[in-house]
Amino acid sequence: MRIHILGACGTFMGGVALLASRAGHQVSGTDQHTYPPMSTLLEGEGIDLYEGYDNHPLRDAPDLVIIGNALSRGNPAVEYVLNERLKYTSGPRWLGENYLRDRNVIAVAGTHGKTTTASMLAWILEFAGLNPGFMIGGVPHNFNLSAREGTGSFVVEADEYDTAFFDKRSKFVHYRPQVTILNNLEYDHADIFPDLAAIETQFHHLVRTIPGNGTIISNGGDSNIEGVLARGCWSRLQRFALDDGHDWQVEMMRPDGTELNFIHKDEVAGSLQWQHCGRHNALNACAAVAAAVAADVPAKTAIKALSLFEGVKRRMELIAQANDIHVYDDFAHHPTAIRLTLEGLRRKVGNARILVALEPRSNTMRAGIHADELGPALIAADHVWLKTGEGIDWDPQVALAPLEGRCKIVPRVDDLLRQMTNQLKAGDHVVFMSNGGFEAAPRRMSETVNQL
Angle among Cα 364, 368, 369 to the nearest 5 degrees reads 60
pLDDT at 360 (0 to 100): 87
What are the two backbone dihedrals, phi and then psi, of residue 37, each rounded to the nearest 5 degrees?
A: -85, -15
pLDDT at 296 (0 to 100): 96
Calculated CA dihedral for residues 51, 53, 56, 60, nearest 10 degrees: 110
The domain ranges of the chain are 2-91, 100-306, 317-451
pLDDT at 224 (0 to 100): 97
pLDDT at 437 (0 to 100): 82
Contact 185, 200 (CB under 8 A): yes
Handedness of CA 420, 425, 431, 432 (dihedral sign): positive
What is the distance between the alpha carbons of residues 245 and 439, in angstroms, rounded to a whole number? Answer: 46
Calculated CA dihedral for residues 99, 141, 311, 121, nearest 10 degrees: 30
pLDDT at 383 (0 to 100): 96
**Side-chain half-sphere CA neighbours of 338 within 13 A:** 28
What is the distance between the alpha carbons of residues 37 and 15, in angstroms, rounded to a whole number? Answer: 12
pLDDT at 332 (0 to 100): 81
Q: Mark out the alpha helices in 5-84 (DSSP H runs).
A: 11-22, 38-44, 76-83
What is the distance between the alpha carbons of residues 217 and 251, in angstroms, rounded to a whole number? Answer: 18
pLDDT at 283 (0 to 100): 97
**Is the domain defined by 317-451 classed in CATH 1.10.1750.10?**
no
Contact 28, 4 (CB under 8 A): yes
Q: Where are the beta strands (DSSP E) in 226-342?
A: 236-241, 248-252, 259-264, 267-273, 317-322, 325-330
pLDDT at 33 (0 to 100): 82
pLDDT at 365 (0 to 100): 80
Residue 171 DSSP code: G
Angle at which helices 114-127 and 299-306 cross, to 10°: 120
CB neighbours of 116 closer than 8 A, spacing ≥ 6?
138, 281, 284, 311, 312, 315
CB neighbours of 65 closer than 8 A, spacing ≥ 6?
3, 4, 5, 6, 58, 81, 86, 87, 88, 89
50 CB-contact burial (10 Å; exposed 0-12 / middle 13-18 / buried 19+): middle
Q: Minimal CA–CA distance to 77: which of 43, 52, 48?
A: 52
pLDDT at 281 (0 to 100): 94
Contact 431, 328 (CB under 8 A): yes
Q: What is the 3 state secondary structure string of 258-281?
A: CEEEEEECCEEEEEEECCCCCHHH
- Mean pLDDT per block of 10 residues along the chain (452 residues) reads 94 92 94 80 91 89 96 96 97 94 96 94 98 93 92 96 96 97 91 92 97 97 97 98 94 95 95 93 97 98 98 90 94 87 93 94 78 91 90 84 91 95 95 89 93 82
Specify the fold of 2-91. Rossmann fold (3.40.50)
Phi-psi region of 92 (alpha: psi -120 to 50; beta: other; left: phi over 0): alpha
Structurally, at CATH architecture level, domain 100-306 sits in 3-Layer(aba) Sandwich (3.40)
For residue 29, the SS3 value is strand
